Amino acid sequence: MSLAKENIIQDKSSLSSKEKVSYGLGNLASNLLITTANAFVTYFYTEQVGLAAATAGSILFFSRIFDGLTDLGMGVIVDKTDSKLGKARPWLKWLAIPYGLALILLFITPNFGETGNVAYAFLTYIFAVGIIYTGISVPYNAMIGTMTNDSVDRGHLSTFRTAFGYSGAWLVNVITLPIVAFFGGGNRGWLLMAIVYAIISSILWYITFNNTKEHVTTKDDTTEKVKSVPIMKGLKTLFKNKYWLMIISVMFISFINSGIGGVNPYYAQYILGNALYVGAMGTAQFAPIILMMFVIGPMMKFVSKRNLIIVGGVVGIIGRLMILVNPESLTLVLTGVVIGSIGSAPMLAASFAMLGDTVDYGQWKSGVRTEGLAYSAATFSEKVGSAMGGIILGVLMGIAGYVGGQATQTPEALNAIVNVFVYVPVIANIIAIIVMFFYDLDKKHNRIVKELQN
């Protein structure tokens, strides 16, 4: 029996293509900062600023801890936001310009001395990634739940989000260093690259803001005003929401799998015999996911997101295991990675949409609606899961006796590289499949939404 004390209202039944595309552009803007930071900021710190590699790593590690707190805090802020523009969408407008400025500050080369440069790098990284990026990405992700309560439309939004996001990540990895070189390299090249990315990202955020609308609102039965949910009540509601726990668990595992992707350069160099093959491996990983977004969106009208993820998990397992036939064959490895990426696409496309469905279920079950907290936990799991993947990679290779900078490695270290590359994605897919067998919200969601509307 429903305990909902808030009514859920949507002013239209479906979203326009313009809204869906515009929403996807936000994730392109997002990756102009976060992918650039993840892929190049350590290199920038060591090669341009002159920081030691250990110092740069420490900055990123401690920033992650702070970052987790800001994710949770921003989720609370979104849930308490009461604006004519909505509860999540206005943050895109308010933070679009600060977002661009934060990106520029991240790639300025200071001249404050050794200690001053470390302090500047730490503070600007915290500001850019832990405050501004979190401040705009948490409400952006939550908009999947506030733009529509239609499960299929949420799937489409998640699909566009994933397609533009992975396209942005792919482009950033390919064009950043050439852009830096085009502008003359050195400190000037990095700064001008950051300025270009900052301008584009701020414009994209404004486009996303202007061309979207929060069609779903909630109101109290008596006051007709959006309710502010206390943080402890919101957290208690989330952890009693079995479907939210399922999706967050699967997302966390998938992000650990993404963090394990750091094994690719080692695999290219020591197993395939050429470090330059890492580019081909990256293309084999990203390109199928982007292309699959054009297929998965229409499929969601006929196949449940749960079933798509299960089938995708099976495909992903097959793709990785076939590499074991000949781990040293570039053709076979690239084929296996392509098939594995095709299998991972449904989870990447559907996960944020399914989170929106779990928010509806939580409101129906408890009377409390918490988009902000629900999606901030997803952002937190993305960051922490990716970091955990990197830690697991380092520990496993360390146990196997891997020594960096060596022309050759021991057989144990080589086996560890192959095992991490093949078996960690297989284990992640097995866990996702098992969890999804218990997920049956797709069958109930339409009825839940109707009850909330009534």
pTM of the model: 0.74
Q: pLDDT band at residue 154, thresholds of 50, 70 and 90?
A: confident
Distance, in Å, from the CA atom of 427 to the CA atom of 411, rounded to the nearest integer, reads 23
Q: Fold match between 1-223 and 230-454?
A: yes
Is residue 404 helix, strand or coil? coil
Per cent of the chain over pLDDT 90 is: 33
CATH of 230-454, one of 2.130.10.10, 3.40.50.2000, 1.10.1470.10, 1.20.1250.20: 1.20.1250.20
82: left (phi over 0), alpha (psi -120 to 50) or beta: beta
The amino acid sitting at 160 is F
pLDDT at residue 148, as a whole number: 87
The structure tokens listed for 372 are 């902000």
The structure tokens listed for 214 are 């929060």
Distance, in Å, from the CA atom of 439 to the CA atom of 431, rounded to the nearest integer, reads 13
The amino acid sitting at 182 is F
CB atoms within 10 A of CB 176: 20
The answer on pLDDT for 35 being more than 60 is yes
Distance, in Å, from the CA atom of 413 to the CA atom of 408, rounded to the nearest integer, reads 10
pLDDT at residue 221, as a whole number: 41
pLDDT tens string 363-406: 888 888 777 778 777 777 777 777 677 677 777 877 888 776 67
Distance, in Å, from the CA atom of 53 to the CA atom of 42, rounded to the nearest integer, reads 8
DSSP 7: E
The answer on pLDDT for 226 being more than 50 is no
Q: pLDDT band at residue 228, thresholds of 50, 70 and 90?
A: low
Q: pLDDT band at residue 58, thresholds of 50, 70 and 90?
A: confident
Give kind and range of the element (H or E) at residue 208: helix 186-210
The answer on pLDDT for 227 being more than 80 is no
Residues 6+ apart with CB under 8 A from 376: 71, 72, 74, 75, 76, 78, 138, 142
Distance, in Å, from the CA atom of 345 to the CA atom of 163, rounded to the nearest integer, reads 10
CB-based burial label for 136 (10 Å; 0-12, 13-18, 19+): buried
pLDDT tens string 61-81: 777 777 777 887 888 888 888
What residue segments make up the domains of the chain, in order of their start?
1-223, 230-454
In terms of average pLDDT, the best of 253-257, 404-408, 417-421 is: 417-421
pLDDT tens string 173-215: 788 888 998 999 889 999 999 999 999 999 999 999 999 999 8
Q: pLDDT band at residue 448, thresholds of 50, 70 and 90?
A: confident
pLDDT at residue 259, as a whole number: 67
Residue 269 phi, psi dihedral angles, 5° rounding: -75, -50
CATH of 1-223, one of 3.30.9.10, 3.30.390.10, 3.90.550.10, 1.20.1250.20: 1.20.1250.20
Q: Name which of 242, 265, 250, 212 is nearest 89 in CA terms.
A: 212
pLDDT tens string 115-153: 898 999 999 999 998 899 999 998 998 898 889 888 788
Q: Which residue has the tokens 């600060």?
A: 98
The answer on pLDDT for 3 being more than 50 is no
CB atoms within 10 A of CB 408: 8
* CB-CB contact of 30 with 204 (8 Å): no
> What's the mean per-residue pLDDT of the chain?
84
The amino acid sitting at 302 is F
The structure tokens listed for 340 are 């594995």
pLDDT tens string 254-268: 878 776 776 777 888
Distance, in Å, from the CA atom of 427 to the CA atom of 214, rounded to the nearest integer, reads 38
Angle between helix axes 186-210 and 90-106 (nearest 10 degrees) is 180
pLDDT tens string 304-334: 889 999 999 999 999 999 999 999 999 999 9
Distance, in Å, from the CA atom of 170 to the CA atom of 129, rounded to the nearest integer, reads 19
